[in-house]
Amino acid sequence: MQSVILVVHLMIVLALIVVVLLQRSEGGGLGMGGGGGNFMSSRGSGNVLTRATAILATGFFITSITLAYLATQARGPRSLLDQPAATAPATPGVPAAPATPQVPQSGGGQGGTGMLEGLRGLSQPPAAPAAPAPRP
């Protein structure tokens, strides 16, 4: 459904560009204000182009809002509060223990370098075991 609306949206965009470019310039912003040989010079065609622009602009906004709504519905939960709570299977006769948050321990007086070293250790492959020292 989203791809169909996207194709319709792109067709509306192209039609809107063409209709806007066909309209006669009233203000002469670039000094090119309408000469006598315009393609659409009658008053009635100007009203048709104005109405077509309004209709296409309305369609553009409707398809844009629809696409934005569909994009937000396609995503999963955005917050931890939106996700269902994960529960462990209950064992008969054993009460469930309350979950306690795990707080990372600091480096024990090293200014927090223990945590940094721990994170570095996660990103690096484990070191190979050292070879035993030769006996004399």
Task: For residue range 68-95, list pLDDT tens digits in order.
Answer: 999 888 776 667 676 666 665 666 766 6
Count of domains observed in the chain: 1
Separation CA 85–CA 89 (nearest Å): 13
Q: What 3-state DSSP class applies to 71?
A: helix
Residue span of the structural domain in which 61 resides: 1-21+43-73
Residues 109, 100 contacting (CB under 8 angstroms): no
Name the residue with tokens 């369609």: 59
- Does residue 94 lie in a domain region? no
The pair of structure tokens assigned to 14 is 């192209």
**Does residue 130 register a pLDDT over 60?**
yes
Separation CA 64–CA 71 (nearest Å): 11
Q: How many residues does the chain have?
A: 136
Average pLDDT, the chain: 74
